[in-house]
Amino acid sequence: MTATRDLLIEIGTEELPPKSLLVLSQALESDFVTQLAQAGLAHGPVQRYATPRRLALLVSALATRQADQAIKRRGPPVSAAFAADGTATRAALAFAESCGVAVTALGRIAEPKGEFLYYEGTRRGAETKTLLIAMLTEALAKLPIARRMRWGDGTAEFVRPVHWVVVLYGEQVVSGEVLGVATGRHTRGHRFMAPRRIEIRTPAGYARSLERTGKVIAGFAERRARIAQGVAALAGKHHGVAVMHDALLDEVAALTEFPVPVAGHFDAQYLELPPEVLMATLEDQQRCFPTRDRSGALTPLFIAVANLVSRDPEQVVLGNERVVRPRLADAAFFWNSDRKTPLAARRSALKEVTFQARLGSYFAKSERVSALCARLASVVGADVGHCTRAAELAKCDLLTGLVGEFPELQGIMGGYYARHDAEPEPVAAAIAEQYRPRYSGDALPATSAGTALAIAEKIDTIVGIFAVGQRPTGARDPFGLRRAALGVLRICIEGGVDLDLPDLIAGAEHQVRADLQSAATGAKTAPVPPTDLGGAVYDYLLERLRAYYLESEQGFTTEMFDAVLAKRPHSPLDFDLRLRALKEFLAMPDAQALTSAYKRTANILRQAGEAPTSAQASGPEPAERALDAALAAVTGPVDALIGRRDYRAALTTLARLRGPVDSFFDQVLVMAEDPQLKLARLSLLARLRDSFLSIADLSRLPG
């Protein structure tokens, strides 16, 4: 039985970026575990830890050495391995050296191509402790760090300066240097409550020692759970309900090592602010949790989370209130000041605000979006006037003080200001909904005009950025095209919008090209969009659609997606209907046999160079007459079902062909010597193939 020991790794740093902490922790675990697997080192469960000042891993029951590896290698031909006098050539010597033996220890193996030198032996596995430092160094080098920094006189680079490194294997320190720091067994506790060094005797006691002696809760998930429980309990103590969003819980957990919730208050007059403004002030600027009463209305109570147990908790509360108070006063000032100027009066000033250097101003963008909204109005059942008016005013709130202070409220504040300006409610609602969905799981636009504006705004952005050659690459996506593409697809599929996407893209492309040409007048070099701009954008949206389905955990496979993709449906909603119907069809008992028959049919037709699908006189064989009759019987009903997009029923109907199809391939020779008979049978198979192909290309499926 292989001996094992627990392994503890800890990288101690200056305070890490809170929004990157969880990503860095997950990446370190993933990369290090991958290296363990590549090295053939078995291990038990892996626990990761992350606090503002540390990234750590606990690997349970890690094997103390690699397993011995059997080696079988064929070397050079014997004819090239020895000279005429029998002495070994350089080829033989090099092969023997690479195997770690003398030439005389090599064997020979006879193969059809001749006789070769041969080595068979065992390579002893390396001790784990000799591999760990290199593996850790490589894992740290692969972390997704946007900008690395140096510190002191060293050459090491990391996201923040590193002060200590623990590499403890069992009870022994694995000696070495990581990021310019010598490894050891001493960690550090809380910066203020327990700043002294703490000795870690065994990996398994790491988290317990940190909490008891160092006043640090090392586990991110545990710390987050304590924050949620503490905030909820404190809000309940004050007869409120805490508003806790996942993103804020993650950020607060990344900012604290020993979280202690405290309650604070602000003047009730600020409850007159739009709730989004109040919550943005507390959540985004102060990392505090707002509270609601039992009816759902916001209250003048907030919960802050301190990073220590204070000897004077009242001063911590007063300190938080002193910071929140002027922030709310600023928000109230902007709110009152912004409403003095109507949105419409700000529109001309959008000409001076650049959307993108080559695409022009936000005014130009609003004109393009307005035209797209007019095209979309009938599709979504909205009033054209409401759609175009909303598009004209949609970007005006970018010039307001509140949106300048809270960029995340753009659109939302525009809706409030439009209502204050007595714009029609559909216009105000559409402006507020233009960026939906803003993130994964966010609500879709709830109004028809908002749906039109949201789609138009996103499509214009995608087409425009593609036109100037700045499509997303790698992790870079400065204009949020991935989010915009997924938003369009979600609105169409989940919102039931039957949209001809290539047609809308073509309309957006026409306008973008016109604006680019206009902007190029008098310029030395005119921007030249790709020739197939529309096709490139549509392909990009389809690839985002692939991610939408394959990451949904609904059982869709790459092969299912590709089978429908082969038809390139113009409507994402139609794509969804086809894909879900195909998934249900493949669960039917006859699906596998029909899929195999379809592939066989497609192969025969491809090898034969295709055949006309027009009706040909059936051959003499009963099986081919039976298939012809069965196909004729289902063709009309299937065509009608496909016309209604009832693809489930269409595939269910086609499944009745299984018996006639099986009999046909069992009893009929398709490639008959008689040319007319061969043509009739190929025509019959072409009709069979096209019946399924009108829904999806089954040849893309496995089996």
Q: Which residue has the tokens 């009608």?
A: 640
Last residue of a domain, one of 187, 214, 241: 214
- Does residue 124 have a pLDDT over 60? yes
448 and 531 both lie in a single domain = yes
**Has residue 558 been placed in a domain?**
no
Q: Is residue 567 part of a domain?
A: no
For 111-150, give the DSSP string. Answer: ETTEEEEEEEEEEPPPBGGGTHHHHHHHHHHTS--SS-B-
Q: What per-residue confidence (pLDDT) applies to 604?
A: 85
pLDDT bracket for residue 607 (50, 70, 90): confident
Average pLDDT over residues 180-209: 95
Query: What confidence tier does 26 reach under pLDDT thresholds 50, 70, 90?
Result: very high
Question: Could you give the CA distance from residue 67 to residue 626 in angstroms, rounded to a whole number?
Answer: 63
> Domain span at residue 513?
348-553
- Exposure of 104 by Cβ count < 10 A (0-12 exposed, 13-18 middle, 19+ buried)? exposed
Could you tell me if residue 48 is inside a domain? yes
One domain, residues 506 and 359:
yes
The pLDDT-based confidence of 703 (bands split at 50, 70, 90) is low
* pLDDT, tens digit (0-9, with 9 covering 90-100), for 37-46: 999 999 999 9
Give pLDDT tens digits for 478-499.
899 999 999 999 999 999 999 9
The confidence score (pLDDT) of residue 616 equals 58
Among 159, 180, 214, identify where a domain stops. Answer: 214
Total of domains in the chain: 5
CA-closest candidate to residue 549, choices 633, 462, 622, 490: 490
Q: Mean pLDDT highest for which of 6-10, 588-592, 601-605? A: 6-10
- Burial category of 323 from C-beta neighbours within 10 Å (exposed 0-12, middle 13-18, buried 19 and up): middle
Does residue 391 lie within any of the structural domains?
A: yes
- Domain boundary residue, one of 181, 214, 247: 214
Claim to verify: residue 460 and residue 482 sit in the same structural domain? yes
Strand partners, 197: 188
In a domain, 372, yes or no: yes
Beta pairing, strands 181-184 & 298-306: unpaired
Give percent of the chain with pLDDT exceeding 90.
Answer: 75
Whole-angstrom CA distances from 485 to 111, 411, 457, 502, 610 are 57, 19, 11, 13, 38
Same domain, 450 and 433: yes
CATH classification at residue 375: 1.10.3210
Residues 334 and 476 in one domain: no
Same domain, 679 and 649: yes
Contact 441, 486 (CB under 8 A): no
Per-residue model confidence (pLDDT) at position 324: 95
Q: What is the mean pLDDT of residues 526-539?
A: 84
pLDDT at 594: 85
SS3 573: helix
- 439-457: pLDDT as tens digits: 888 999 999 999 999 999 9
Domain with 140 in it: what CATH number? 3.30.70
Same-domain check for residues 390 and 409:
yes
Q: Please say if the pLDDT value at position 610 is more than 80.
A: no
Bridge-based pairing of strands 354-356 and 360-361 is antiparallel
Query: Do residues 62 and 84 share a domain?
Result: no
Q: Are residues 530 and 597 in the same domain?
A: no
The pTM is what?
A: 0.82
Co-location of 44 and 151 in the same domain: yes
8 Å CB contact between 396 and 344 = yes
- Residue 414 parent element (H or E): helix 412-420
Question: Looking at residues 396-400, what average pLDDT do you find?
Answer: 97
CATH code of the domain containing 585: 1.10.730.10
User: In this structure, are 437 and 522 located in the same domain?
Assistant: yes
What is the C-alpha to C-alpha distance for residues 198 and 213, in angstroms, rounded to an integer?
Answer: 7
Query: Given this model, what pLDDT does residue 36 score?
Result: 95
Q: Are 590 and 678 in contact (CB under 8 A)?
A: no
In a domain, 562, yes or no: no
Determine the pLDDT at residue 523: 52
pLDDT number for residue 49: 98
522 pLDDT above the threshold of 90: no
pLDDT for 521 equals 59
Instruction: Check pLDDT > 60 for residue 613.
Output: no
| Number of helical H runs and strand E runs in the chain | 26, 18
**Secondary element (H or E) of residue 49:** strand 46-51
Among 213-222, 467-476, 523-532, which is the least confidently predicted range? 523-532
DSSP SS3 for 489:
helix
The verdict on 540 and 644 lying in the same domain is no
Lowest model confidence (mean pLDDT) among 79-93, 612-626, 640-654 = 612-626
Mean pLDDT for all residues in the chain? 92
Per-residue confidence (pLDDT) for residue 451, from 0 to 100 = 98
Asked, for residue 684, whether it belongs to a domain, the answer is yes
3-state secondary structure at position 637: helix
Does residue 643 lie in a domain region? yes
Per-residue pLDDT band at 68 (split at 50, 70, 90):
confident
Phi/psi for 258 (5° steps) reads -140, 80
* Res. 525: pLDDT tops 80: no
Question: Residue 327 above 90 pLDDT?
Answer: yes
d(Cα 453, Cα 459) in Å, to the nearest integer?
Answer: 10
* pLDDT-based confidence at residue 520 (cuts at 50, 70, 90): low
Q: Label residue 463 by pLDDT band (50, 70, 90).
A: very high
